Amino acid sequence: MTNRIVKLSNATISQSKSPVLSGVHLEIDKGEFVYLIGKTGSGKSSLLKLLYGELVLDEGEGSVAGFSLNHLSSRQVPFLRRKLGIVFQDFQLLPDRTILANLEFVLAATGWNERNAMQARMEEVLAHVGLSTKGFKMPHELSGGEQQRVVIARALLNHPELILADEPTGNLDPETSEEIMKLLFDISQKGTSILMATHNYGIMDKFPARILKCEGGRLHDTQTVVTSE
Protein backbone atom coordinates (compact mmCIF):
# COMPACT_ATOMS: atom_id res chain seq x y z
CA MET A 1 0.00 0.00 0.00
CA THR A 2 1.16 3.51 -0.76
CA ASN A 3 1.64 6.10 1.97
CA ARG A 4 0.92 8.93 -0.47
CA ILE A 5 -2.18 10.84 0.62
CA VAL A 6 -2.09 13.65 -1.98
CA LYS A 7 -0.69 13.52 -5.50
CA LEU A 8 -1.10 16.22 -8.15
CA SER A 9 0.74 16.05 -11.46
CA ASN A 10 0.81 18.98 -13.92
CA ALA A 11 -2.50 20.14 -12.46
CA THR A 12 -4.35 23.33 -13.43
CA ILE A 13 -6.66 24.81 -10.77
CA SER A 14 -9.24 27.38 -11.86
CA GLN A 15 -11.87 29.64 -10.33
CA SER A 16 -14.75 30.72 -12.60
CA LYS A 17 -12.88 29.19 -15.58
CA SER A 18 -9.82 31.41 -14.95
CA PRO A 19 -6.60 29.52 -14.11
CA VAL A 20 -5.29 30.36 -10.63
CA LEU A 21 -2.47 27.80 -10.42
CA SER A 22 -0.90 25.93 -13.34
CA GLY A 23 1.61 23.13 -13.67
CA VAL A 24 1.08 22.04 -10.07
CA HIS A 25 3.11 19.07 -8.87
CA LEU A 26 2.46 18.05 -5.28
CA GLU A 27 2.93 14.96 -3.16
CA ILE A 28 2.07 14.68 0.53
CA ASP A 29 2.76 11.46 2.42
CA LYS A 30 1.05 9.89 5.41
CA GLY A 31 1.76 11.80 8.62
CA GLU A 32 3.51 14.69 6.85
CA PHE A 33 3.02 18.27 8.07
CA VAL A 34 3.14 20.88 5.30
CA TYR A 35 2.66 24.66 5.39
CA LEU A 36 0.95 26.52 2.54
CA ILE A 37 1.84 30.20 2.20
CA GLY A 38 1.33 33.01 -0.29
CA LYS A 39 -0.29 36.40 -0.65
CA THR A 40 -4.07 36.83 -0.65
CA GLY A 41 -5.40 35.73 -4.04
CA SER A 42 -2.33 33.66 -4.87
CA GLY A 43 -4.22 30.35 -4.95
CA LYS A 44 -4.01 28.91 -1.42
CA SER A 45 -7.77 28.62 -0.95
CA SER A 46 -8.23 27.31 -4.49
CA LEU A 47 -5.77 24.51 -3.81
CA LEU A 48 -7.56 23.57 -0.58
CA LYS A 49 -10.94 23.66 -2.36
CA LEU A 50 -9.63 21.34 -5.05
CA LEU A 51 -8.43 18.87 -2.45
CA TYR A 52 -11.79 18.68 -0.68
CA GLY A 53 -13.79 18.46 -3.88
CA GLU A 54 -15.29 21.93 -4.15
CA LEU A 55 -13.35 22.73 -7.33
CA VAL A 56 -12.97 20.48 -10.37
CA LEU A 57 -9.53 19.50 -11.65
CA ASP A 58 -9.35 21.08 -15.12
CA GLU A 59 -6.10 19.61 -16.39
CA GLY A 60 -3.49 17.14 -15.19
CA GLU A 61 -3.80 14.23 -12.78
CA GLY A 62 -4.78 14.23 -9.13
CA SER A 63 -5.77 12.01 -6.23
CA VAL A 64 -6.58 12.57 -2.55
CA ALA A 65 -6.99 9.84 0.06
CA GLY A 66 -7.51 7.21 -2.62
CA PHE A 67 -10.03 9.23 -4.66
CA SER A 68 -9.20 10.29 -8.20
CA LEU A 69 -9.87 14.00 -8.70
CA ASN A 70 -10.13 13.41 -12.45
CA HIS A 71 -13.21 11.25 -12.13
CA LEU A 72 -14.75 12.60 -8.93
CA SER A 73 -18.54 12.66 -9.21
CA SER A 74 -20.79 14.79 -7.03
CA ARG A 75 -21.96 11.56 -5.36
CA GLN A 76 -18.40 10.72 -4.35
CA VAL A 77 -17.59 14.11 -2.78
CA PRO A 78 -19.23 13.32 0.60
CA PHE A 79 -17.25 10.07 0.78
CA LEU A 80 -14.01 11.91 0.02
CA ARG A 81 -14.76 14.47 2.73
CA ARG A 82 -15.25 11.70 5.29
CA LYS A 83 -11.56 10.95 4.80
CA LEU A 84 -10.66 14.60 5.35
CA GLY A 85 -10.78 16.93 8.34
CA ILE A 86 -11.26 20.64 7.72
CA VAL A 87 -10.25 23.34 10.22
CA PHE A 88 -11.12 27.00 9.63
CA GLN A 89 -9.98 30.07 11.55
CA ASP A 90 -13.55 31.20 12.28
CA PHE A 91 -14.52 27.92 14.00
CA GLN A 92 -17.98 27.55 12.34
CA LEU A 93 -19.49 25.85 15.39
CA LEU A 94 -23.26 25.72 15.73
CA PRO A 95 -23.89 28.39 18.40
CA ASP A 96 -27.18 26.99 19.71
CA ARG A 97 -25.83 23.51 20.53
CA THR A 98 -23.46 22.13 23.13
CA ILE A 99 -20.02 20.93 22.12
CA LEU A 100 -21.19 17.32 22.25
CA ALA A 101 -24.21 18.19 20.12
CA ASN A 102 -21.92 19.87 17.58
CA LEU A 103 -19.88 16.69 17.33
CA GLU A 104 -22.96 14.47 17.23
CA PHE A 105 -24.35 16.52 14.34
CA VAL A 106 -21.24 15.74 12.26
CA LEU A 107 -21.30 12.04 13.11
CA ALA A 108 -24.97 11.73 12.19
CA ALA A 109 -24.39 13.63 8.94
CA THR A 110 -21.57 11.25 7.98
CA GLY A 111 -23.47 8.02 8.55
CA TRP A 112 -22.96 7.11 12.21
CA ASN A 113 -26.12 5.75 13.85
CA GLU A 114 -25.04 3.56 16.76
CA ARG A 115 -25.44 5.61 19.94
CA ASN A 116 -22.75 3.94 22.06
CA ALA A 117 -20.18 4.11 19.27
CA MET A 118 -20.97 7.78 18.67
CA GLN A 119 -20.65 8.62 22.37
CA ALA A 120 -17.36 6.75 22.65
CA ARG A 121 -15.90 8.51 19.61
CA MET A 122 -16.97 11.96 20.83
CA GLU A 123 -15.38 11.34 24.22
CA GLU A 124 -12.23 10.04 22.54
CA VAL A 125 -11.67 13.10 20.34
CA LEU A 126 -12.45 15.55 23.15
CA ALA A 127 -9.89 13.78 25.33
CA HIS A 128 -7.38 13.94 22.48
CA VAL A 129 -7.65 17.75 22.34
CA GLY A 130 -7.71 18.20 26.12
CA LEU A 131 -11.41 19.06 26.50
CA SER A 132 -12.81 16.00 28.28
CA THR A 133 -14.83 18.11 30.72
CA LYS A 134 -16.16 20.67 28.21
CA GLY A 135 -18.66 18.62 26.23
CA PHE A 136 -21.72 20.12 27.91
CA LYS A 137 -20.58 23.72 27.41
CA MET A 138 -21.99 26.00 24.72
CA PRO A 139 -19.48 27.42 22.19
CA HIS A 140 -19.76 30.97 23.60
CA GLU A 141 -18.72 29.63 27.02
CA LEU A 142 -15.32 28.58 25.68
CA SER A 143 -12.24 30.67 24.93
CA GLY A 144 -11.05 31.08 21.35
CA GLY A 145 -8.36 28.48 21.87
CA GLU A 146 -10.84 26.02 23.32
CA GLN A 147 -13.22 26.58 20.41
CA GLN A 148 -10.41 25.86 17.97
CA ARG A 149 -9.66 22.65 19.89
CA VAL A 150 -13.30 21.68 19.42
CA VAL A 151 -12.94 22.35 15.69
CA ILE A 152 -9.89 20.07 15.61
CA ALA A 153 -11.80 17.42 17.58
CA ARG A 154 -14.62 17.70 15.03
CA ALA A 155 -12.10 17.26 12.21
CA LEU A 156 -10.79 14.08 13.85
CA LEU A 157 -14.17 12.36 14.25
CA ASN A 158 -14.00 10.21 11.12
CA HIS A 159 -10.33 9.21 11.48
CA PRO A 160 -9.20 11.45 8.59
CA GLU A 161 -6.18 10.67 6.47
CA LEU A 162 -5.64 14.39 5.80
CA ILE A 163 -6.50 17.57 7.70
CA LEU A 164 -6.79 20.79 5.71
CA ALA A 165 -6.28 23.72 8.07
CA ASP A 166 -7.00 27.23 6.76
CA GLU A 167 -5.38 29.85 9.03
CA PRO A 168 -6.20 27.86 12.20
CA THR A 169 -4.27 30.29 14.42
CA GLY A 170 -5.44 33.46 12.65
CA ASN A 171 -7.78 34.61 15.43
CA LEU A 172 -5.70 33.42 18.37
CA ASP A 173 -3.11 35.08 20.60
CA PRO A 174 0.52 33.87 20.35
CA GLU A 175 0.42 31.61 23.40
CA THR A 176 -2.81 29.93 22.33
CA SER A 177 -1.51 29.65 18.76
CA GLU A 178 1.49 27.73 20.05
CA GLU A 179 -0.76 25.34 21.97
CA ILE A 180 -2.82 24.67 18.83
CA MET A 181 0.35 24.07 16.80
CA LYS A 182 1.63 21.56 19.35
CA LEU A 183 -1.68 19.74 19.07
CA LEU A 184 -1.59 19.71 15.26
CA PHE A 185 2.00 18.45 15.19
CA ASP A 186 1.08 15.71 17.66
CA ILE A 187 -1.77 14.67 15.37
CA SER A 188 0.55 14.52 12.34
CA GLN A 189 3.12 12.48 14.25
CA LYS A 190 0.39 9.92 14.92
CA GLY A 191 -0.15 9.43 11.19
CA THR A 192 -2.61 12.08 9.94
CA SER A 193 -1.25 14.32 7.18
CA ILE A 194 -1.79 18.07 7.66
CA LEU A 195 -1.74 20.84 5.06
CA MET A 196 -1.96 24.19 6.83
CA ALA A 197 -2.43 27.54 5.10
CA THR A 198 -0.97 30.37 7.18
CA HIS A 199 0.49 33.88 7.18
CA ASN A 200 2.07 33.36 10.59
CA TYR A 201 5.82 33.23 9.97
CA GLY A 202 6.57 33.24 13.69
CA ILE A 203 4.72 29.94 13.99
CA MET A 204 6.72 28.49 11.11
CA ASP A 205 9.97 29.52 12.79
CA LYS A 206 8.94 27.77 16.02
CA PHE A 207 7.51 24.70 14.29
CA PRO A 208 9.61 24.15 11.16
CA ALA A 209 8.22 21.91 8.43
CA ARG A 210 8.06 21.65 4.67
CA ILE A 211 6.68 24.79 2.98
CA LEU A 212 4.66 25.23 -0.21
CA LYS A 213 4.36 28.76 -1.61
CA CYS A 214 1.75 30.00 -4.09
CA GLU A 215 3.31 32.73 -6.20
CA GLY A 216 2.97 33.90 -9.79
CA GLY A 217 0.38 31.27 -10.67
CA ARG A 218 2.67 28.44 -9.57
CA LEU A 219 3.13 26.25 -6.51
CA HIS A 220 6.73 26.26 -5.30
CA ASP A 221 7.98 23.53 -2.99
CA THR A 222 10.75 24.46 -0.56
CA GLN A 223 12.26 23.11 2.63
CA THR A 224 13.36 26.59 3.73
CA VAL A 225 11.27 28.72 6.08
CA VAL A 226 10.29 31.92 4.28
CA THR A 227 10.40 35.01 6.51
CA SER A 228 8.77 37.53 4.17
CA GLU A 229 6.60 37.69 1.10
Beta bridge partners of 210: 34
Residue 195 lies in a domain: yes
Residue 65 lies in a domain: no
**pLDDT-derived band of residue 223, with 50, 70 and 90 as boundaries?**
low
pLDDT in tens, 48-97: 999 999 998 979 999 999 999 998 898 998 889 889 998 877 778 999 99
User: CA of 72: how far to CAs of 19, 64, 76, 81, in Å?
Assistant: 19, 10, 6, 12
pTM: 0.91
The answer to which of 80-94, 96-110, 117-131, 163-177 has the lowest mean pLDDT is 80-94
Q: What's the rounded Cα separation, in Å, for the pair 40 and 44?
A: 8
Residue 41 lies in a domain: yes
Residue 93 lies in a domain: yes
Tally of domains in the chain: 1
User: CA of 137: how far to CAs of 134, 140, 217, in Å?
Assistant: 5, 8, 44
Residue 69 lies in a domain: no
Residue 124 lies in a domain: yes
pLDDT of res. 228: 42
Q: What's the rounded Cα separation, in Å, for the pair 131 and 24?
A: 39
The answer to which of 6-10, 35-39, 102-106, 171-175 has the lowest mean pLDDT is 171-175
Residue 16 lies in a domain: no
Q: Give the domain extent around 206.
A: 31-53+79-222
Domain containing 40 — which CATH number? 3.40.50.300
Residue 71 lies in a domain: no
**pLDDT-derived band of residue 109, with 50, 70 and 90 as boundaries?**
confident
